[in-house]
Structures are given as structure tokens and as C-alpha cells.
Amino acid sequence: MTVAELFCEREKTYLSKFAFLTSNTRGREKPCNKCPNRTDFQRDRDRIIHSKSFRRLMHKTQVFFFPEDEHYRTRMTHTLEVAQISRIIARALRLNEDLCEAAALGHDLGHTPFGHSGEKAMQKFYKETFAHYEQSIRVVEKLENDGEGLNLTWEVKDAILNHSGSNEASTLEGRIIKLADRIAYINHDIDDAIRAKILSIDDIPRDLINTLGRGHSERINNMVTSIITESMDKPYVKMSEEIGQATAELRSFLFDNVYHNRHVKAEEDKAIEMLGMLFEYYTKNPKELPYYCYKNTAEESVERCVCDFLSGMTDRYAVNLFRELYVPSKWRRTI
């Protein structure tokens, strides 16, 4: 029996009856030989970590564009926090930790440069229904690995696709990702907003502080504990009604006071306009797309391929490319 097979047998003994067993996976779109040392979900985790799109997350905006303080979160640090929170919940509930980790690490691979501002740009210039979670699936199925994709398991892709909005994943592990994502960004965005002096802890409504906690760690712990307590040995994963309501109210508070804050959004229009000019340029000049995008124009629209190219960019790559295309070189050194 291989190490991977031993792991799968151990799952049958240890995990909850509501857990998704690795041995029950629907598998991959392209069949491949099993790894003797890693289960399918462990293998998915490794494929994601070693991908180019994962590495680019370190230079993609979470909330704040080009912060001078290096302690602000990026899309990479957000992803790592989601993975950490989801693993804690999965371990406590005896659900499949490997499935959670792989999905958490891959959930934002399709996110645009400049965070949700970039997503708005793609909705404006490419297609109104553009969504980063759908783009994440496109990344792992078609764009990564020089067009071969990562060939992930069905369950990991399902969790990635359904981690946002009203969508619901097919597994409890996938549903953990949605909760862990929200817990992570609510709390680290508060932390970053306080660092940026856009918010102070005393601005948060007192009733939410009393329910969820005053400090960063305290709030996360209370939210996670609520999920574990409410969901232990149950066929669902959710917060208690009190904590869930307070969390939803805190999220709404963030939208009103941070995400839509005029200081935070001061550069948003510039970012959207810049991406729009890049979109127009490459739509008119598709042969200048990198080969992995240009080759897809044989079977898909140029606009779709340009969207893929722009969505994969880091913030600084987009800015540098814009300068190269639109700022006269004689003047570029003085800017």
C-alpha cells in the first residue's frame, strides 16, 4: 500500500461522516497516474502553490493600491490567511483539511490587478458578468501551465467557483472557504484601514465590538469558534445567528466606511481608465499579446483573450506596461 493510499484509509477512520473523502473524488478532466506519496487534494495544493498565477498574487492589490508601508495585505497574504482559517475550521470539524487548503490557496487565482477595481474594469470593457471566481476556474483549466491548465480535481474547482456571492459549494469543505474568506478580509481590512488612519477602532459600532471583540485576533477567534460550535457533527457549516448577524453588519460597515471611502477609492478611476486603454490597445493589436493568450484567438474572441491577459497582470506590471505604451520615453525618466 502506498503512502497516499494509507492517507486515504486514515480518512475513512478519522474524518467525520459529513467529510468528503479523497477516495470519492470525481477525479480530473484529464486522467493521470496517481502519486504514491500524495493524495489527489494534496497534489492539487502543490500544483497551485507552484503555479505562476499563485506567485503573482504577491503583487496584486487587496484594498490599498501601491502602499508605501510594506505591512499592508496583498492578495497573496489574504490567500494565506484564508487557507490558515479554513484549515483550523476543517480540523476542528474533522472535515477534509487537504481539500480545504487546496481550494483556499486557489480561490483568488483569477483576481485582477488593483483588486475589485480591476474587476470593475473588466466588467466595463469586456463583459458585465465578468467575475474573479469564474476567471479563477479559467486560469486553472485553460491558462496556467502554458495553456495546459493545472488539471485539478472536480471538488477543488467546485469550491473555488462557489466561494463568493450566493453560490454554494457541493462539499462542506468548499462551504468553509466562503466563510474563511469573509472572516479573513473583514478583519485584515479593518487592520489595514486602521494602519492607513482611515478608520479607528472606536469608529466601529459599540454593539459589534461587544459581540465580536475589540482586537483583530479576538474577532477572528470568536467567528471561528462560532462556526465550530454551531457546526460540530452537523451536515452544514455556519456561524451562530448572533455572530453571523454581527459579522454581516460589520461587513456592511466596511463597505460604507472603507471600501467606498473617497481616500481609498481616489485612484480607482485612474486604474479603471488605465486598464481600459490597455484593453483597447491589445484588442486592436492582438498579435502583440503573449503567445499563451494570442494562440487562443484561433478559437475564442480577441476580447476574451485580452481579458485573460489583463486579468493575469500584477499591479506594477500593468502600470509599467501602460508607461511603455503611452508615456513618451523622452519624458518617462522624469516621472
pLDDT digit string (tens) for 208-238? 999 999 999 999 999 999 999 999 999 999 9
3-state secondary structure of 98: helix
Tell me the C-alpha distance between 220 and 232, whole Å: 18
- What pLDDT does residue 264 have? 74
pLDDT tens digits, one per residue of 94-104: 999 999 999 99
Tell me the C-alpha distance between 158 and 250, whole Å: 28
- The amino acid that residue 173 corresponds to is E
pLDDT bracket for residue 70 (50, 70, 90) = confident
Please compute the mean of the pLDDT values over residues 265-286 and round it to a whole number: 93
Please compute the mean of the pLDDT values over residues 34-60 and round it to a whole number: 97
Q: Indicate the Cα dihedral angle 65, 68, 70, 74, nearest 10°.
A: 0
pLDDT tens digits, one per residue of 309-331: 999 999 999 999 999 999 887 66
- What pLDDT does residue 64 have? 77
Is the model's pLDDT at 266 over the cut of 90? no
- The amino acid that residue 156 corresponds to is V
Please compute the mean of the pLDDT values over residues 12-27 and round it to a whole number: 97
- What pLDDT does residue 292 have? 84
Please compute the mean of the pLDDT values over residues 105-109 and round it to a whole number: 97
Q: The C-alpha cell of 89 is what? A: 475550521
Tell me which of 175-179, 183-187, 271-275, 293-297 is least confident: 293-297
Residues 6+ apart with CB under 8 A from 65: 114, 117, 267, 271, 315
Q: The C-alpha cell of 48 is what? A: 497551485
pLDDT tens digits, one per residue of 278-319: 999 999 999 999 988 888 899 999 999 999 999 999 999 999
Is the model's pLDDT at 16 over the cut of 80? yes
**Of residues 15 and 269, which shows the higher confidence score?**
15
Buried b (16+ CB within 10 A) or exposed e, 69-87: eeebbbbbbbbebbbebbb
pLDDT bracket for residue 332 (50, 70, 90) = low
Tell me the C-alpha distance between 159 and 107, whole Å: 8
| Percent of the chain residues past pLDDT 70, beyond the cut | 97
pLDDT tens digits, one per residue of 143-165: 999 889 999 999 999 999 999 98
- What pLDDT does residue 334 have? 56
- What pLDDT does residue 291 have? 87
pLDDT bracket for residue 68 (50, 70, 90) = low
CB distance 249 to 205 below 8 Å: yes
What is the Cα 291 distance to its own chain's centre?
26
CB distance 163 to 174 below 8 Å: yes
- What pLDDT does residue 333 have? 59
CB distance 330 to 322 below 8 Å: no
Tell me the C-alpha distance between 24 and 17, whole Å: 13
- What pLDDT does residue 72 have? 85
- Whole-number mean pLDDT of the chain? 94
- What pLDDT does residue 175 have? 98
